[in-house]
A and B are shown apart, each in its own frame.
Chain A
Amino acid sequence: MNLRKYLKVYKKFLHTSLASELEYKTNILVDLITAILSLVGSIFLLSIFFQNSGYIGGWKFEQALIIQGIYTILNGITNTWFNPNLTEIVKHIREGTLDFVLLKPIDSQFFISLKKINPSGFLEIMLGFLLLFFCIRINQINLNLSFLTLSLITISCSICILYSLWFFISTTTIWFVKTWNATEVLRSFLYIGRFPLSSFSFSLRIFFSVFIPIAFITTIPSEVFLGLSVFWKILLEIIVATIFLINSRKFWLFALKFYSSASS
């Protein structure tokens, strides 16, 4: 793979999608306001849950805010990259415009995963980080190199798992043609990731760890922040993320053999 070429193309992707989005100023403004209100609403909701008892699933409100911060960052990444690109896969396949992607001398997964960006998602990412810094202060977390490295690794793994899950569902469009609902269900499950895994019943915990690994997406990075995480959990998240990423790639290449293009 020619890294220089891919960087150059990505720079063009950034340029063209920013230019496209900036054509509609009001839309960006509405998106930015929505991002702020969504975060305020989520924190308010969380505070209601903690009003009667100081703990949920063994987590204090201040600790649960870390999960909210990580969720906000992931949601920002979802809105910036996954939502504009991965929902387009369905459109590409239904309308047959995937033909143009497949005939370009560039990796098709790279192209369809990164072609667009939604700049308003950046605000959410920034808000998420601000919330995390706030949590670091109120939870008196020590910022050291191992803490930062582990946080970065676990958050990156969370992004990989989320991307792979979404990409996997979108890829099934090649057979099922319409999978909007499935990606919406995935987004709904992601909302669950705003709460500590231990606040759910045993069966739900198993479900959200094994079948739809939401637990890996927010809870493990949050545990790293609080120094509660154990080594095997971090290792497990790395393994899960790697397996998901590799399989999403293999699944895409396999699915393309069944692509029949839309009729003209």
Chain B
Amino acid sequence: MVKNIIDVKNLSKSFDISSKEPGLKGTIKHFFRRQTKSLKVIKDISFEIKEGEIVGFLGANGAGKTTILKMLCGLIYPSEGSILVSGYLPFRRKENFLKNITLIMGQKQQLIWDLPPIESFYLNASIYDLDKFEAKKRIKKLSEMLEIDEELFIPVRKLSLGQRMKSELLAALIHEPNILFLDEPTLGLDINAQRNLRKFLQKYNNETNATICLTSHYMKDITSLCKRVICVHEGAISYDGKLDLLLKKLSPVKEILIVCRTEEDAIKLENSGFTVKNKIKNEITIKIENNSITSSLKTILNNFDIEDLFINEPPIDEVIGKVLIKKDYVI
């Protein structure tokens, strides 16, 4: 049985937030009498993650995804509840715990700006107490996986965003952590760079069985990497389960565009009891429930003269978007 590597129970986090009225008057008032209020950003959440799992955290901006990740890696103290990561209390930041994890943030960088990435790698290697030989071996292996070579010797400030992100990943993985926390790792990258990064993460997971917790606003990152998603809405978990189940639940119907041989066939099909979305000449779009697609298509192909047909998946961003704004999607 695969063991749990992350165990979160009744976790809550509150922050003191100050608010300011607009204008000069508001600024002066804010300066002398700052009004703060306690805001509960994470509300009593519980979940478990198994070793080797890749879990995507989904949620709108400000939903609390990054706060959850930061509590899991021990950067922020929880206000209530308990977290166990790899058997450790994260906020104690014990050396052995830190050697097991890594955090990669798409919008922040740890590489030394004026020097080539290789210098940052060796610095990190010394922090993780790796000898030169071992560090060299790991840099070689990871750079091959990430397909970077010459970039290692070019100052970071002269690298493209994609090359920099790959180098960031290498710097963050040199100690071969078991748990990866990734906060929007593909932010700002072009499509090819995004795809390469996803390919790398999948490969890393396959080869090392590392657990990956990922937040991203790019749905492609989530759909190609995560079988399981945790949806966060206003600090609470609105869905925790398989991604395909969520998609089925959110989008129970598929649209099928059927091109009939003649307009008469299209009219016949229109009147045959299917839910019709629209009809233009010999082209007709019908809606069929996911669980009856095979049987419905069989009926259509047997009874009508069909030239072509297309099954349209609803755009995943649109489908997931629904879960980000509603709280009661609990399956």
Binding site for B on A (CB under 8 A): 2, 5, 8-9, 11-13, 15-16, 19-20, 23-24, 95-97, 99-100, 102-106, 257, 259-261, 263-264
- Listed by A's residue number, 28 A-B pairs whose Cβ atoms lie within 8 Å are A8-B126, A12-B126, A15-B119, A16-B112, A16-B123, A19-B114, A20-B112, A23-B155, A95-B108, A99-B70, A99-B103, A99-B105, A100-B108, A100-B110, A102-B75, A103-B74, A103-B93, A103-B98, A103-B102, A103-B103, A104-B127, A105-B98, A105-B99, A105-B127, A260-B15, A261-B70, A261-B76, A264-B107
A16-B115 in contact (CB<8A):
yes
Task: Verify if B274 is at the interface (C-beta below 8 Å from A).
Answer: no
Question: Does any Cβ of A come within 8 Å of B95's Cβ?
Answer: yes
Chain B residues with CB under 8 A of A261: 70, 75-76
Inter-chain contact B108/A96, CB cutoff 8 Å: yes
B184 to chain A: closest residue by CB: A264
Contact A257/B77 with A19-B119, A97-B108, A99-B70 known, Cβ cut-off 8 Å: yes
Residue of B nearest to A8 (CB): B126
**Chain B, range 107-124, C-beta contacts under 8 Å to A:** 107-110, 112-115, 119-120, 122-124
Name the B residues within 8 Å of A23 (CB-CB).
114-115, 155
| Max chain A C-beta neighbours (<10 A), residue from B76, B108, B119, B128 | B108
Query: Which listed residue, B105, B122, B127, touches A264 by the CB 8 Å rule?
Result: B105
A263 to B120, CA, bound (A): 25
Chain B residues near A5 (CB, 8 Å)?
A: 126, 129
- Check A102/B112 contact, CB under 8 A, given A5-B129, A261-B76: no
Residues of B within 8 A of A104 (CB): 98, 124, 127
Min distance, Cβ B203 to any Cβ of chain A, angstroms: 23
Nearest CB in chain B: distance from A110 CB, A: 10
**Cβ of A167 to closest chain B Cβ, rounded Å:** 20
Which A residues lie within 8 Å of B75 (CB)?
A: 99, 102-103, 259, 261
- Interface: B73 (CB within 8 A): yes
A13 to B110 CA separation, bound complex (whole angstroms): 14
Count the B residues whose beta carbon is within 8 Å of the partner chain — how many? 37
- Give the A-B pair count, Cβ closer than 8 A: 79
CB-nearest residue of chain B to A99: B75
State the CA gap A8–B129 with chains docked (Å).
9
Given A99-B75, A103-B102: A20 touches B115 (CB 8 Å cut-off): yes
For the complex, give the distance between the alpha carbons of A96 and B112 in Å.
16
Contacts of A100 in B (CB 8 A): 103, 108, 110
What is the minimal beta-carbon distance from A179 to any residue of chain B, in angstroms? 16
The 9 closest A-B pairs by CB, nearest first: A105-B98, A100-B110, A20-B114, A105-B95, A12-B126, A12-B123, A23-B114, A264-B66, A9-B126
Question: In the assembly, what is the distance between CA of A102 and CA of B75, in Å?
Answer: 7
Considering the complex, give the chain B residue whose CB is closest to the CB of A17. B112
Cβ-defined contact, B76 with A264, below 8 A: no
Residues on the B chain within 8 Å of A20, using CB: 112-115
Contact (Cβ within 8 A) B119 A97 = no
Q: A100-B103, A260-B15, A263-B66 are in contact. List 20 more A-B contacts (CB 8 A).
A: A5-B129, A9-B123, A12-B122, A12-B123, A16-B119, A20-B113, A20-B115, A23-B155, A97-B109, A99-B108, A102-B74, A102-B75, A102-B93, A103-B73, A105-B95, A105-B99, A259-B76, A260-B76, A264-B66, A264-B105
The answer to whether B129 touches A2 (Cβ under 8 A) is yes
Q: Does B323 contact A (CB under 8 A)?
A: no
The CA of A11 and the CA of B119, in the complex, are separated in Å by 12
Collect the chain A residues with CB atoms within 8 Å of residue B120's CB.
16
Question: Which residues, 85 to 100 on B, are CB-close (under 8 Å) to A?
Answer: 93, 95-96, 98-99
CA gap between A103 and B91 in the complex, in Å: 10
Chain B residue contacts of A97, Cβ below 8 A: 108-110
CA distance A235 to B230 in the complex (A): 60
* Nearest residue, chain A, Cβ from B122: A12
B101 at the interface (CB under 8 A from A): yes
Neighbouring A residues of B102 by C-beta, 8 Å? 103
* A259 CB contacts on chain B under 8 angstroms: 75-76
- Residues of B contacting A257 in the complex (Cβ-Cβ under 8 angstroms): 77
